[in-house]
Every structure is written in structure tokens, then in C-alpha cells.
Amino acid sequence: MSTTTAYGVDGMTCGHCVASVTEEIGLIAGAENVTVELVKGGTSQVTVTSADTLDRALVAAAVEEAGYQLVAAA
């Protein structure tokens, strides 16, 4: 059974940003699908479907590798 988790990401402004974040998160073991709802100049929503719940630290590291910031959990 898959798990879907939404994350907020700040700093994305264009399609290239979306592609970078999608690629980096997609490299995490267990990640199956990554979708991004871009909000220019705001907090974009990144939804990740994975085999099991991903370690938030791994997701944060992937987002930072792409050059952006994971928003603190609400």
C-alpha cells in the first residue's frame, strides 16, 4: 500500500524549479511519484507518493539539494 504525503516548499518560481525538486525527491529510495503545485513567490505544495512514509530529513535534504527550502511541518 502506498503512502501520500504533502510538503510545503518555498523559493520555487518556475518550471525548472519544479523539475529540479521533482528529480531530487524522486531519487529517494521508495519514492514512487512526485507532483508539484507551483505557487510563484509563495509556498508550493509538493505531494509525494511512496511505498512507505519517507524520512522528512531525507525529503528536506533533497529539496535543499535542488536549492529550495522545506517549510516546517504545521
What pLDDT, in 10s, does the model give residues 19-36?
Answer: 999 999 999 999 999 999
- The answer for residues whose C-beta is within 8 angstroms of residue 41's C-beta and 6 or more apart is 13
Q: Is residue 4 included in any domain, yes or no?
A: no
Q: Is residue 3 included in any domain, yes or no?
A: no
Rama region for 11: left / alpha / beta (φ>0; ψ in -120 to 50; rest):
left
Q: Is the pTM of this model over 0.95?
A: no
Q: Which domain holds residue 54?
A: 12-70
Q: Is residue 47 included in any domain, yes or no?
A: yes
Q: Is residue 32 included in any domain, yes or no?
A: yes
Reply yes or no on whether the pLDDT at 73 is more than 70: no
Q: Is residue 5 included in any domain, yes or no?
A: no
Q: What is the pLDDT of residue 49?
A: 97
Q: Is residue 40 included in any domain, yes or no?
A: yes
The tally of domains found in the chain comes to 1
Between 74 and 70, the more confident residue is 70
CATH of the domain at 45: 3.30.70.100
